[in-house]
Structures are given as structure tokens and as C-alpha cells.
């Protein structure tokens, strides 16, 4: 019997093609998040803002020394506005000197530059340095706490209330894992020149050398910050930020049982997030994505784009299956203002919309001449 090999090869190729298509269409399997031994936790992608894992993320808890992220944020903001300078010398009050807990060991009535106080607060978690900075900026720690709360409001930290600059226990001094993720991301984004201090492993002041309490700085070279905290009522807490290639993750674990536990639980989250997810910049902000016709204007076309870059965090290997869908206003008539919403772009994965963002005008389009408007009026009748 004569075998038709060409027919067999055709069938084999067809089977392989169908199998490949079915496998490509099948969504990637993401296992459940590892068990995390903490009162609450969250893991967020820095660029996309997508929450990859969380539990009790909106539960109000004491943040302990993680409070100092907001203390630093306020000081950084004052620096960026030019209200203070890193070289400004701060006279240390008796209250700052006597503040209990972790200390930088500054001396009462001494003058210490803002930069050294910031390093003492960030690297050594000095409560004395935190109070000194608060008093320097706002006159008193109470007034500074009001400033902290205003910044928290501006950042959308809806379940946060601060009463001091240190994180020392107080029943009214509360925040959440989700709110802390917002703060951490904003600090990294707004103040990269100061964020680098969170990766410093040790700092010496007054002949006393102290080590950064964030053990992940030694264990994982991708971790470049941020802050630890501990009180008996808050437990052991850690905010960590890690960047591998172009992807940055922020993790918050609150209320673990030990120094090693907060590092271990944070590492679990980071390994899980980087293993099973990837983040992509799909479109850059302020770049033209689509050209559309404009009628009755001083130009015939207009570029549409996004006000900010669009990032998505998706299961690894799924980027090829991401589908953009654009909806644009049917007829656009001048005048058009820069930033005016004229459509929307949606990103779909496995027939689910995972992100939506407005399409906006990238520039102004004033009205055209009388004859241009007349001409386009006629065109619109036929359109």
C-alpha cells in the first residue's frame, strides 16, 4: 500500500497549529497567594497601581515607625518648594532629645543639619530626629501632625490619621496597608533624589554606628528601600520596595511576630509577584496614538493621546494576547482645547477589560477662517 506522506504532514501541521492556538487562548494559571503571617498586607505594582495580593488591606492599624515615611514625605516636600535647605541647622529641643524609642543620639541644644537628621530618621529610625524635624518645620509636633494629615488627604489616604511624627503608640494614630502603599509610591515618584537614602545600610553619628533595620537590603539585591517599624501594640512591620528589570513592586506587611518574620513574609510576596506577573508600558503619556479629522478648525487633523503613561500588570506570557480597543468621538468640531476628552482606550485580556483611560487632545485647535468653517459645514452635511 502506498502511503501519502504529504497528506500526513499536512494533518500533523494542522494539529500542531490548532493545539498552539488553543494553548495561546488558554489563560495563564496563577496560584493563590502564599500564606502571609501578618495582621494585614498588600502588594502593589508601582507603575500600574495594580494590587496583586492583599488581606485586611483597609483595616486600620498602628503603623509604628513606618509613620516616618510620611514625616520624610513632608520634609521632602518642604525641600522641593525651597522652604528649607538640607544645610539648614536645627536646634535640638529638650523634647526631641528626650523622645523615647529608637534614637539617633542627638544632644539637646546642639545644632544639626537637616540632611543629617533625615539620614538619622531614615537609616537609624531616630525618634529624636523625627521630632526635631517636625518642630523645625511646623513649630511643634502637634502642628506638624496636622500637616501630615493634610498630605495624607491629598494622597487619597482615606483611612489614615496621624498624631505624631514618630509612630509611638496612640489609639488615634492609625493607617492601613493600602494607604501606606499610596504613600510609598508617591514618595518614590516625587522624590527619587532622596529615596536613595532608604537603601543605605548603616549611618554613623556622634561616634555611634547603627545599621538599617530592613534586613531585605542584605538578602535581596533588588530591594532598594523602604522602612521598618515596631511597637508592642503594632507588632513588627515592613514596607519594602524592589525593582527587577523594569518592574517595581511595593509590599507592606503589618503586625508580624518578629524581625525575621517581617522580612520573610515580605520576601514571599516579592518572589510571588515577580514570578507570576509582568508589567508593561503600553502607551507613553503625551504621545500621539491616533490621528483624527477636525472640522472648522485652523488644522485638518488632531493627535489623540494620554495624559500619562499607561502601564498594565498582567500574568507572565500574556502580553501577546493584550488587545487595545479605541472609541473616538464621531465628529470633532473646533475649537478644541488641549486635554479635552475625545474618546477612550480599553485594554482587553481574555475578553475582560483590565484597564480604561481617556483619549485626550494633545494640543489646542482654534476655529479656522470663515471660508474654512463654511467649507467644512458643507462637508458635514454629506458626512
DSSP per-residue string spanning 202-224: EEEETTEEEE-S-THHHH-TTEE
Q: What does the DSSP 8-state code read for residue 61?
A: B
| Helix, strand, or coil (residue 86) | coil
65 classed as catalytic? yes
Could you say which of 39, 68, 119, 182 is catalytic?
A: 68
Q: Which of 125, 130, 165, 241 is catalytic?
A: 125
Full strand arrangement of the beta sheet holding 40-45: 51-55, 40-45, 247-256, 235-244, 223-231
Give the list of residues 6+ apart from residue 124 with CB closer than 8 angstroms, or none: 102, 103, 104, 203, 205, 210, 212
Q: State the Cα–Cα distance between residues 130 and 92, nearest whole angstrom.
A: 11
| Burial annotation 248-270 (CB, 10 A radius, 16+ → b, else e) | bbbbbbbbbeeeebbbbbbbbbb
Q: Active-site residue among 48, 54, 65, 102?
A: 65
Whether 28 is a known active-site residue: answer no
Rounded Cα distance, 304 and 287, in Å: 8
- The catalytic residues are 65, 68, 125
Amino acid at each position: 500500500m502506498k502511503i501519502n506522506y504529504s497528506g500526513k504532514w499536512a494533518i500533523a501541521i494542522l494539529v500542531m497549529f490548532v493545539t498552539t492556538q488553543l494553548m495561546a487562548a488558554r489563560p495563564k494559571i496563577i496560584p493563590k497567594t502564599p500564606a502571609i503571617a501578618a495582621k494585614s498586607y498588600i502588594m502593589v505594582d508601582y507603575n500600574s497601581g495594580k494590587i496583586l495580593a492583599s488581606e485586611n488591606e483597609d483595616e486600620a492599624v498602628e503603623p509604628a515607625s513606618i509613620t516616618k515615611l510620611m514625616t520624610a514625605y513632608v520634609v521632602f516636600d518642604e525641600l522641593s518648594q525651597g522652604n528649607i535647605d538640607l544645610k539648614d541647622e536645627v536646634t535640638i529641643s529638650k523634647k526631641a532629645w528626650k523622645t523615647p524609642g529608637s534614637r539617633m543620639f542627638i544632644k539637646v541644644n546642639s545644632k544639626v543639619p537637616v540632611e543629617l537628621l533625615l539620614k538619622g530618621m531614615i537609616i537609624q529610625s531616630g525618634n529624636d530626629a523625627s521630632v526635631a524635624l517636625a518642630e523645625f518645620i511646623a513649630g511643634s509636633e502637634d502642628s506638624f501632625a496636622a500637616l501630615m494629615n493634610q498630605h495624607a488627604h491629598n494622597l487619597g489616604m482615606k483611612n489614615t490619621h496621624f498624631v505624631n511624627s514618630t509612630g509611638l503608640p496612640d489609639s488615634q494614630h492609625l493607617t492601613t496597608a493600602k494607604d501606606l502603599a499610596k504613600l510609598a509610591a508617591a514618595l518614590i515618584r516625587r522624590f527619587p533624589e532622596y529615596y536613595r537614602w532608604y537603601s543605605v545600610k548603616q549611618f554613623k553619628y556622634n561616634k555611634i554606628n547603627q545599621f538599617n533595620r530592613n534586613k531585605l537590603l542584605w538578602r535581596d539585591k533588588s530591594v532598594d528601600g523602604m522602612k521598618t517599624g515596631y511597637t508592642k501594640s503594632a507588632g513588627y512591620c515592613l514596607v519594602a520596595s524592589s525593582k527587577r528589570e523594569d518592574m517595581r513592586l511595593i509590599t507592606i506587611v503589618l503586625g508580624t511576630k518578629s524581625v525575621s518574620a517581617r522580612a520573610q513574609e515580605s520576601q514571599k510576596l516579592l518572589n510571588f509577584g515577580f514570578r507570576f506577573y509582568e508589567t508593561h508600558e503600553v502607551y507613553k503619556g503625551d504621545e500621539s496614538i491616533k490621528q483624527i479629522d477636525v472640522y472648522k478648525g485652523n488644522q485638518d487633523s488632531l493627535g489623540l493621546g494620554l495624559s500619562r503613561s499607561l502601564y498594565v500588570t498582567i500574568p507572565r506570557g500574556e502580553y501577546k494576547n493584550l488587545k487595545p480597543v479605541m472609541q473616538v468621538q464621531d465628529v470633532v468640531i473646533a475649537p478644541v482645547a488641549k486635554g479635552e476628552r475625545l474618546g477612550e482606550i480599553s485594554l482587553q485580556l481574555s475578553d475582560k477589560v483590565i484597564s480604561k483611560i481617556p483619549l485626550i487632545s494633545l494640543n489646542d485647535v482654534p476655529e479656522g477662517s470663515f471660508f474654512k468653517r463654511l467649507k467644512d459645514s458643507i462637508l458635514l452635511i454629506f458626512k
